[in-house]
Structure 1
């Protein structure tokens, strides 16, 4: 998974100290040698640790050790250590800490849903906070999930809101859509068992079942059992670590969720001291 660029990380550093660190400069301690460590206060899945380490380097510090994204860290486990002048450590401290806390929150909840799904793939939506997609994608991958779609330019997903502008036989416009985009799988979001059957017969490659209960997912799976070339069933809307196992057992081939993006940030302890 591609890491955030130095330019992106430098921008984050610049947001926190656009004209330098006033307190450290005024105290006259900027050149003093120091050490810094990051530790998990509770069990978590690490994410964006590489980016936190790189920000320390960009600020002028030296990283001695960093555990990679995707690592399960236990309570109290130190996962990043660095050294350098106090001005460098103070500059990168809070931005790096906050980045890891938010990313680890996403990764930890994503991993909880992945574990509960017991082998059924978990795909996260594009419902991340605006302006944070690069961080969210890194965190989702660290949690063992994949992205459902990265944006409108990437995948073909026909919502009811699209179909409000269409008329005629679904099989006809479906065939035209496939003709125009022969390399793309057509995903159709449906809201009922009957709609699922209709669009499966019309040629949808994936049926996105929006806010179906596990029992309704099971009904769709049963209704499509004898269909040749049946579509993948994607359970979407309200999928969490508490019900992922039920959706998987009901016959969903993929679980689509936004839940990781609303996870509480994890708590990271940072210690700075004179070297």
Structure 2
């Protein structure tokens, strides 16, 4: 279990935008049936074991609509099949307005969190101290929730975005004419407090990055066997650098193999593409 008491609560404006996507100009069906004023209750429960995330957002949306929260689990908790996640009471108009978006947010975020937890568990069963980190390749417009879910799954964040870290890709070198060593030096002059990471696609590139003084060498789409061979032979400086990260195609199925290869970090986008977890909803008259 990896609860997230430190993660900031969702902004009210963000929750309102989510609700507007679904509610729009109101709930025509509930209005047409004339049932909006009737008291009701709604409960959300896990259909199968999962790592939870998005519960705070779901509860926040329902509370904004006027519902009263009875019970709310926390992101980062593990739920068994049939276990209650969230329960609220309120008028039928409120419950119907918030029901689907609350369910959607929790199902999506819990899918990301559960996949991240599976990768972390598989990797650390082999290498207990290995770092598992997620990339910035989250679903468009869903980065904040996606990163929260990755943390709920026990992973860490590789990059928040282009602004917060230095990662030199081969695509950068297509424009930079002073060689990789020059690129590393240029990055250090501008951002001396940041580690300089270099992505490579083959062994020769990894050796060149090491010689250039890279702090982190990111192996893009290396097989576990190729990563293991490089980890055994790549010379390291007295400070233990360069650290080696395996990236590109890391999933729960191969995380153990990459961890056994002896790399320092696993860098993955796989959690962001995880299948949403199924959450059961019961909405009834109070």
The TM tier, using the shorter chain, reads over 0.9
Which of 148, 154, 161 is the equivalent residue of 2:164?
A: 154
Match of 1:90 in 2: 96
Match of 1:250 in 2: 261
Within 5 Å, which residues of 2 pair with 1:8-157? 8-118=14-124, 119=128, 120-157=130-167
Distance 1:11 1:175 in 2: 44
- 1:156 deviation in Å? 0.6
Match of 2:4 in 1: none
Which has the larger displacement, 223-232 or 200-209?
A: 223-232
Q: Is the 8 A contact 1:4 1:134 kept in 2?
A: no
Q: Deviation above 6 Å: which 4+ runs of structure 1?
A: none
Match of 1:214 in 2: 224
Match of 1:204 in 2: 214
Secondary structure of the corresponding residue to residue 184 of structure 2: helix
Secondary structure of the corresponding residue to residue 184 of structure 1: coil
Please tell me whether residue 170 in structure 1 is matched to residue 183 in structure 2: no
Secondary structure of the corresponding residue to residue 264 of structure 1: coil
Distance 1:135 1:20 in 2: 25
- Count of matched residue pairs: 275
Q: Is the 8 A contact 1:185 1:205 kept in 2?
A: yes
TM-score by length of 2: 0.93
- 1:226 deviation in Å? 5.1
- 1:192-221 deviation digits (Å, cap 9, x = unpaired): 112111111211010000000111111221
Cα 1:26–1:226 shift into 2, 3 Å: closer
Q: Is the 8 A contact 1:193 1:219 kept in 2?
A: no
RMSD: 1.2
Secondary structure of the corresponding residue to residue 127 of structure 1: coil
Distance 2:96 2:246 in 1: 45
Distance 1:198 1:183 in 2: 22
- 1:125-161 deviation digits (Å, cap 9, x = unpaired): 1111111111111111111111211111111100000
- 1:173 deviation in Å? 2.9
Distance 1:225 1:171 in 2: 16
Please tell me whether residue 266 in structure 1 is matched to residue 277 in structure 2: yes
- 1:179 deviation in Å? 1.4
Q: Is the 8 A contact 2:10 2:56 kept in 1?
A: no
- 1:51 deviation in Å? 0.7
Which has the larger displacement, 109-118 or 243-252?
A: 243-252
Structure 2: runs of 5+ lacking an equivalent: 1-6
Structure 1: runs of 5+ lacking an equivalent: none
Q: Is the 8 A contact 2:236 2:242 kept in 1?
A: no
